């Protein structure tokens, strides 16, 4: 039987790990773009414009690359990886030994890189290394043999994918996913949630069904996604998850 506290840690492991993947991809794209519009996209999506300009006078590829490595940025890759490692450590009894070792090793090597990097070229090399390393860890997550644990990791990853997609849709100049992709991610999330106990997770199932319906409506109509509706529905879903985890 999976304790709710463990389920919560697995859920957040999935969220923080996916957040790391999304962020490193976004940063590599924006940094290589190097236009002011492109460089501003990660700051808009993470809501860190004010924090950035408290530390840097101008927006540049060099400053952006450093900002998302430093520990004094709560949305940095360092913060995401640290949270992923903490959740993996808390769930060592339910994830494979290989997955734990991979996540822990990634975190330790990232820490070593953070203390050594200083130039823009070193920052960029660390981002490229991290992207490849996260892909390798993702394979271990996918192969995790504990079906119940895997379900909550997948729920976290699906929620994070949807949240990131909606943030991109609300961000000018960002490359946005297709409505069909978003609807598919919502359907995958509903599938994972539908396997849970209906008595305990009734509200979560209801909100997940509503999210699928709202997303699919945009696909069927061929219209722009109603951002207010989808964001509010996703928020209700995440709140219902938190309520059960806290029970």
pLDDT tens across 131-152, in order? 999 999 999 999 888 999 999 9
| Residue 33 located in a structural domain | yes
| Residue 46 located in a structural domain | yes
pTM (2 d.p.): 0.95
What's the rounded Cα separation, in Å, for the pair 89 and 151? 18
| Residue 218 located in a structural domain | no
Spatial neighbors of 88 by CB under 8 A, at least 6 apart, are: 13, 95, 99, 100, 103, 104
Residue 134's domain comprises 4-146
pLDDT of residue 126: 93
| Residue 233 located in a structural domain | no
Average pLDDT, the chain: 93
| Residue 82 located in a structural domain | yes
Confidence of residue 204 (pLDDT cuts 50, 70, 90): very high
pLDDT of residue 225: 72
Q: Is the pLDDT of residue 52 over 90?
A: yes
| Residue 184 located in a structural domain | no
Q: Please tell me the total count of domains within the chain.
A: 1
Q: What is the dihedral of CA 124, 106, 20, 81, to 10 degrees?
A: -110
pLDDT tens across 60-73, in order? 999 999 999 986 89
């Amino acid at each position: 039987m999976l304790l709710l506290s463990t389920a919560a840690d697995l859920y957040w492991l999935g969220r923080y790990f996916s957040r790391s993947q999304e962020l490193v991809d976004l940063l590599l794209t924006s940094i290589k773009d190097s236009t002011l519009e492109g460089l501003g996209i990660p700051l808009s999506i993470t809501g860190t414009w004010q924090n950035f300009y408290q530390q840097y006078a101008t927006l540049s590829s060099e400053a952006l690359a450093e900002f998302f490595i430093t520990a004094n940025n709560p949305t940095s890759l360092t913060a995401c990886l640290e949270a992923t490692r903490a959740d993996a450590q808390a769930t060592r009894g339910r994830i494979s030994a290989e997955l734990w070792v991979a996540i822990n090793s990634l975190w330790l090597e990232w820490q070593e890189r953070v203390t050594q990097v200083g130039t823009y070229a070193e920052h960029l090399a660390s981002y490229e290394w991290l992207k490849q390393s996260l892909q390798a860890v993702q394979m271990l997550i996918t192969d995790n043999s504990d079906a119940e644990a895997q379900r909550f990791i997948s729920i976290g990853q699906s929620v994070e994918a949807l949240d990131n997609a909606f943030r991109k849709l609300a961000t000018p100049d960002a490359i946005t996913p297709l409505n069909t992709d978003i609807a598919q991610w919502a359907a995958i999330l509903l599938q994972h949630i539908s396997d849970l106990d209906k008595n305990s997770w009734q509200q979560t199932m209801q909100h997940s069904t509503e999210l699928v319906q709202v997303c699919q409506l945009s696909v069927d109509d061929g219209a722009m996604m109603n951002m207010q509706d989808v964001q509010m529905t996703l928020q209700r879903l995440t709140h219902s998850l938190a309520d059960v985890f806290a029970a």
